[in-house]
Amino acid sequence: MRMTPAVKVILIINVVFYILTYWITPMFMLDGHPDWFMNFNALHPIGDDGFAIYQFLTYMFMHGGWWHLFFNMWSLMIFGNAVEQQVGTKRFYFYYLTCGIGSALINQLCTAIGLINPASLVGASGAIYGVMAAAAFFFPNAKLFIIPIPFPIKLKYLVGFYTVVEMYMGVTSPDGIAHFAHLGGILVGAVILFLWKMQEKRHTQDGNYWTSSSTNSHYDKEESAWQKLWHKRTPRMRVTNVRETNYQEHEYNERKRQNNEEIDRILDKIRKNGYQNLSDSEKATLFNASKKMRGEE
């Protein structure tokens, strides 16, 4: 699986933080605590003695164990590569980090109003759920096999199912999992996608819109496009003038139609009068057309 640039960097940072947390820093115990690196970077509830503002960023690179890291990074590779291909690397960084920070803010709000018990927050899950929401937005009909479901399920239904489950579990099951942080990632991601969609609509009305340099459209991708994305480089975003593009396409199609009509006329003349009766310009036109068909030009 070819990883896109931002996904690769995020994955490496998470692995480095994991190694520091469980392998390196325990050898340098501060105040006798082998888990000081975890406490330093995990997001503590606001008002807690260990709380610091930078933790809204660092918490999403910390994980509670190997399996926690593995499933988050596996999900990042599955969904993040396709989303980054769609929006570009810079926008993906912004989207990922904003979803992570936004999910932490929502988790803190739920803690402050007493909806969930105060606890430290670690893990990339909030940002990952935001990426899943983006994948469902761009590729709603892409089908995935999810264990233990024995049949492929469309991505839009899968993310919808996860959203309902997280909402139910967050309200009914205090199991130590940050369900509201997961919901926060989806909510923040949905807001960003909505704002981008409105921006795109305004650009379209002005004759410009944001589009990926490796695609012909932006939001109506099918399953085949999802599969092809694994083998394409991450595109940079460019502004395309819709009116200019349509005009250029019209000109090209008109020239092509006229050339085809001229070739048909010359061939008809050969059938009726023979090749020797063609003018020099007609012979040149026929010769150039044959070269193009052979790929010599």
Q: What is the pLDDT of residues 230-272, one digit of tens each?
A: 444 444 444 444 455 555 667 777 787 888 888 888 888 787 7
For the segment 139-147, the average pLDDT, to the nearest whole number, is 86
User: pLDDT tens, 32-72?
Assistant: 788 899 999 999 999 999 999 999 999 999 999 999 999 99
pLDDT bucket at 167, cuts 50 / 70 / 90: confident
Q: Could you tell me the residue ranges of all domains in the chain? A: 5-235, 245-293
Among the ranges given (89-93, 153-157, 290-294), the one the predictor scored with the smallest mean pLDDT: 290-294
Tokens, residue 127:
């940002």
Where b means 16+ CB within 10 Å and e means fewer, 8-25 reads: bebbeebeebbebbbeeb
For the segment 149-178, the average pLDDT, to the nearest whole number, is 83
Terminal CA-CA length for the chain: 37
Tell me what percent of the residues of the chain surpass a pLDDT of 90: 49
User: 10 Å Cβ neighbour count for 51?
Assistant: 15
Which of 23, 5, 113, 10 lies closest to 65 in space, CA to CA? 23
Where b means 16+ CB within 10 Å and e means fewer, 56-79 reads: beebbbbbeeeebbeebbebbbbb
Where b means 16+ CB within 10 Å and e means fewer, 196-215 reads: beeebeebeeeebbbbbeeb
Predicted TM-score of the model (pTM) = 0.69
User: Measured at the alpha carbon of residue 102, what is the angle toward residues 97 and 107, in degrees to the nearest 5?
Assistant: 130
Which architecture characterizes domain 5-235 according to CATH? Answer: Up-down Bundle (1.20)
The torsion angle over the Cα atoms of residues 40, 45, 47 and 50, rounded to 10 degrees, is: -10
Greater pLDDT, 147 or 206 = 147
For the segment 202-226, the average pLDDT, to the nearest whole number, is 49
12 pLDDT above the threshold of 80: yes
Q: How far is CA 47 from CA 43, 156, 170, 178, in A?
A: 11, 38, 23, 19
What is the distance between the alpha carbons of residues 17 and 24, in angstroms, rounded to a whole number?
Answer: 10
The phi and psi torsions of 239 (rounded to 5 degrees) equal -90, 125
